[in-house]
Amino acid sequence: MRFHVLTLFPEMILNGMSESIIGRAIKNEYISLNVVNIRDYSDNKHMKVDDYPYGGGAGMVMQAPPVVAAYESIVDNMNLDVTKKKPRVVYMTPQGSVFNQDMAQDFAKEEDLIFLCGHYEGIDERALEMIVTDHVSIGDYVLTGGELPAMVVMDCVSRLVPNVLNNEESAMFESFYDGLLEHPQYTRPVEFRGKRVPDVLLSGNHKKIEEWRKEKSLERTRERRPDLLEKKEKEKKENGNS
Ligand code: 6GU
């Protein structure tokens, strides 16, 4: 997987992607990260990339020319086979479709993904019309820019790329009960400030432990995310195996 990011804040992306599992995946070349500073493609001597909105109103709008020029620099460097389709360009915006695991799986099939991060009051619509293939939000709240959202999507897609997770990390995620929240976890010490680890986990009875974990998963999902249980029920009915 090759990620490309168009942004006015390249350090934010480089710093955010340099640690832990994602940092290791880049070092081991299971994914790559190409960050392009849109400001480098400004066409004026002050390196300005935004201007007042036509029609008036608050805030500034990112101009089309540097955004499209920065995008073209990426595509030119990709030496795309003429027979191949253009790369997906994902614009991170609160006006997009809300990101979920199914979208992550779809993105993970791509060889290249280009993320466009906006700031200010947005980007000139003409640039968006020319280059964007997907509009994606990470939830119903407003952030100051698209960099954190792009990192959320890249993190989620990266863990679906072969070899990014090691065996232990993969097993950890695969063992979750499908569509339910995970059961609680405990480690040493067996007693902390008067609170003990549940006896069943110390029993060595693997069947009992599995039953306990399944029960806790269901209980936790019912309490915190009843919508997930309803979704599962609905899917079951639709597949005719209720
Ligand atoms: Cl993708 N961008 C911004 N600025 N705010 C958001 C968002 C994106 N997703 C949720 N809030």
**58 and 147 share one domain:** yes
- What is the mean predicted confidence (pLDDT) over 160-165? 97
Q: What is the DSSP letter of 202?
A: G
User: Does the structure show a pLDDT above 60 at 158?
Assistant: yes
**131 and 11 share one domain:** yes
Question: Domains in the chain: how many in total?
Answer: 2
- What is the mean predicted confidence (pLDDT) over 112-139? 96
Of residues 5 and 231, more confidently modeled: 5
Backbone angles phi, psi at 159, to 5 degrees: -70, -5
Question: Where among 126, 158, 190 does a domain terminate?
Answer: 158
- Ligand 1 is surrounded, with C-beta below 6 A, by 92-94, 137-139, 141-143, 145-146, 149
CATH number, domain of 150, equals: 3.40.1280.10
In our burial notation (b when 16+ CB lie closer than 10 A, e otherwise), range 61-72 reads bbbbebbbbbbe
The residue to which tokens 């990101």 are assigned: 99
Question: Where among 124, 158, 192 does a domain terminate?
Answer: 158
| DSSP line for 211-223 | HHHHHHHHHHHHH
168 within a domain of the structure (yes/no): no
**182 and 144 share one domain:** no
**Cα 221 to middle of ligand 1, angstroms:** 27
231 within a domain of the structure (yes/no): yes
**8 and 118 share one domain:** yes
**43 and 93 share one domain:** yes
Q: Which of 5, 6, 142, 148 to mutate to test the pocket of ligand 1 (most atoms within 8 A of CB)?
A: 142
User: Does the structure show a pLDDT above 50 at 92?
Assistant: yes
Query: Sorting pLDDT into bands at 50, 70 and 90, what band is 242?
Result: very low
**Cα 1 to middle of ligand 1, angstroms:** 23
**80 and 182 share one domain:** no
CA 146 from chain centre, in angstroms, equals 11
Q: Give the per-residue pLDDT at 178.
A: 75
166 within a domain of the structure (yes/no): no
Pair 181, 225: CB distance under 8 Å: yes
Q: Give the per-residue pLDDT at 218.
A: 96
**107 and 226 share one domain:** no
165 within a domain of the structure (yes/no): no
For 178, the domain range is 173-238
CATH number, domain of 233, equals: 1.10.1270.20
**84 and 144 share one domain:** yes
202 within a domain of the structure (yes/no): yes
What is the pTM assigned to this prediction?
0.94
Backbone angles phi, psi at 66, to 5 degrees: -65, -35
**pLDDT per residue over 225-240, tens digit each?**
999 999 888 888 898 7
**98 and 197 share one domain:** no
164 within a domain of the structure (yes/no): no
83 within a domain of the structure (yes/no): yes
Helices (H), 82-174: 101-107, 125-131, 147-158, 167-174
The β-bridge relationship of strands 32-37 and 134-137 is unpaired
- Nearest residue (by CA) to ligand 1, atom 3, is 143
Separation between Cα atoms, residue 161 and residue 169, nearest integer Å: 13
The residue to which tokens 């001597």 are assigned: 45
**pLDDT per residue over 199-213, tens digit each?**
999 999 999 999 999
Q: Which atom of ligand 1 is nearest to the CA of 92?
A: 1
Length of the chain measured in residues = 242
**62 and 178 share one domain:** no
183 within a domain of the structure (yes/no): yes
**pLDDT per residue over 165-198, tens digit each?**
999 988 766 555 678 999 999 999 999 999 999 9
Q: Give the per-residue pLDDT at 116.
A: 98
**93 and 16 share one domain:** yes
**136 and 226 share one domain:** no
Of residues 231 and 1, more confidently modeled: 1
| DSSP line for 36-52 | EEGGGG-SSTT---EEP
